[in-house]
Structure 1
């Protein structure tokens, strides 16, 4: 059983560049279910607002990886390690996320980790509903949209905010997006469970 991605051991020496690069090839991914009634209620409203596009939700668990990977993730060096580029470029992941039409070396430069993104995720998800798609938006008051987003975030994170990194993009970084004005990507990296959850949303007029 590999060590958890948040298993920080300060006495370990830095593995160095050669081991870093080699370790990326050792990560094996497995798709796992992601479903919760609160999350389903939120996504129903997303589908109702983004009627010409839609959403894609998928969760993946790293089932094999080396201690070198853990060295970097435990120190929260997600970008420095190149974890998301490695993830999205993996052949199994690309096949599982076939609608995204990911390239073997995907350009993920637009995926950024805003300050306090984990703590403000519910607000960002609420804005997705309130702002809406090309022709529709959430029909209720903003407070209801916020409540839906709060419970969806709880379903995604179990309020374990310290375990997560959240990367966000508003760009059409794969051909799946319509590249008009309603593109959203949220990538949640769960260090406790070595999991990555991807939520993509798009629409067009």
Structure 2
């Protein structure tokens, strides 16, 4: 659907993103965390996103995730050309995304729990979101899945995927986590 060159992987070297990844790597000791950002070179990706219709956006995003650029950009994720498992994405409001991340931090992984305070978890979620899209909540569309949609996931309680569309900055963020007991 999307021609090659539509998505270009961007190298990320932001201290708060590194801290976020490190916190989850420490909590998800048997799993992993992936935070990837793509520059989107075709604004139609944002214009054609049917964010209001679950059936349509699930199909749309599955097609996007199986584009050559995304597959080659994140080889570790083992995305197949055809996603067999149901990704079952849900649209979530960008205003609560920092809290969603804070909850994941507080709950911890299969064996380790977060040793910090809820305030520390909330701060990290807030700063992570600010790094990704500042305070431009209305420019962002966020989708979430707790399903195992590639073989990288362990298909247990700790599977999470967030896909963040930032039409103003022409960026697509993909955040994936998994752990197992």
Matched residue, 2:70 = 93
Q: Provide the alpha-carbon RMSD of the alignment.
A: 2.4
Counterparts of 2:71 and 2:114, CA distance in 1:
32
Any stretches of 5+ residues in structure 1 without a counterpart?
Answer: 1-20
CA distance in 2, matches of 1:70, 1:187: 13
Partner of 1:191: 167
Shift of 1:53: 0.7
Distance 2:17 2:47 in 1: 32
| Distance apart, 1:160 and its partner CA | 1.1
Question: How is 1:90-169 mapped onto 2 (pairs within 5 angstroms)?
Answer: 90-106=67-83, 107=85, 109-114=87-92, 116=93, 118-169=94-145
TM-score (norm 2): 0.86
Count of residue pairs brought into register by the alignment: 178
Q: Once the 2 structures are TM-superposed, how far is the Cα of residue 78 of structure 1 from its aligned partner?
A: 8.3
**Relative to 1, partners in 2 of residues 1:78 and 1:188: Cα closer, same or farther, differing over 3 Å?**
farther
Q: How far apart in 2 are the matches of 1:39 and 1:121?
A: 15
Q: Distance in 2 between matches of 1:187 and 1:70?
A: 13
- Structure 1 or 2, whichever has the larger Rg, is 1
**CA 1:172–1:108: 2 relative to 1, 3 Å:** same
Contact 2:46–2:167 (8 Å) recurs in 1: no
Check the 8 A contact 2:51/2:91 in 1, yes or no. Answer: no
Consecutive unaligned residues of structure 2, counting only runs of 5 or more, are none
Work out the CA distance in 2 between the residues paired with 1:162 and 1:137. 33
